Chains A and B, each alone.
Chain A
Amino acid sequence: SQQGEEDPQALSIQEGENATMNCSYKTSINNLQWYRQNSGRGLVHLILIRSNEREKHSGRLRVTLDTSKKSSSLLITASRAADTASYFCATVPDRGSTLGRLYFGRGTQLTVWP
């Protein structure tokens, strides 16, 4: 499967703690993206990391990519109750025929308690 697979399926933490979610995939990629989804609504793009990048930051988000292990991690620092959502990784394979097509995993449900 070309889909990313997130781990853990569910994560429950207190406000102020850090949250780490992992994603594994099976094929070579052009880039990997992380999305957030609140309560079954639309997806919000968080960050895109290209295959030649190893780490990327955006505010309280830090994404790493290890292409040798075909894995990525999303770290949310100093979490807030508003971070409660489902988080998905999506891969874009390194094949032109699938240009722009995203392959999603099943997601990690993050719950941040006040």
Chain B
Amino acid sequence: DAGVTQSPTHLIKTRGQQVTLRCSPKSGHDTVSWYQQALGQGPQFIFQYYEEEERQRGNFPDRFSGHQFPNYSSELNVNALLLGDSALYLCASSRRSERVHVYEQYFGPGTRLTVT
């Protein structure tokens, strides 16, 4: 049973460019959340997708957008990259359709984004 997978592992971009990160949830999971973790900090919630719609959003600008596909996988897009966007981007999946499990989140290994 594959866990949460993310691609790519590492990415280097230049200021002003756009980036797309990908996440495949754990088998049986239907909800995907994205977090940004700056160096030395705890993860910060970006947004959450369920049934292909954004359900919750953290305090991030509109440059951060996402998508969820019918197979529950998800993408995180960041436009007009800034140096401050350099961070580890983590994807977490959960099973919202079963309330008893809704709080159990499984994290992927993350994508390390460096903006130069």
Q: Which residue numbers of A lie inside 8 Å of B, CB to CB?
A: 3, 30-31, 33, 35, 40-45, 48, 88, 90, 92, 97-107
Contacts and interface: CB of A to CB of B under 8 A. Distances in A.
A48 B110 contact: no
A106 B41 CA distance: 5
Interface of B: 4, 31, 33, 35, 39-45, 48, 55-56, 58, 88, 90, 92, 94, 96, 102-110, 112
Contacts of A43: 43, 90, 92, 107
Nearest to A44: B107
Given A41-B109, A45-B104, A100 B42 contact: no
A100 B43 contact: no
A48 B90 contact: no
B42 A3 contact: yes
B108 A88 contact: no
A27 B78 CA distance: 31
B110 A100 contact: no
Contacts of A30: 103
Contacts of B103: 30-31, 33, 48, 92, 100
A100 B105 CA distance: 8
Contacts of A41: 109-110
Contact of A107 (B42, B92, B108): B42
B58 to A, nearest CB: 8
Given A42-B107, A102-B92, A105-B42, 11 more contacts: A43-B43, A43-B90, A90-B42, A99-B56, A100-B31, A100-B94, A100-B103, A101-B45, A101-B48, A104-B43, A104-B44
Contact of B104 (A3, A44, A48, A105): A48
Nearest to B47: A101
A54 to B, nearest CB: 18
Contacts of A45: 104-107
Given A41-B110, A43-B90, A43-B107, A100 B40 contact: no
B45 A99 contact: no
Nearest to B39: A40
A97 B112 CA distance: 30
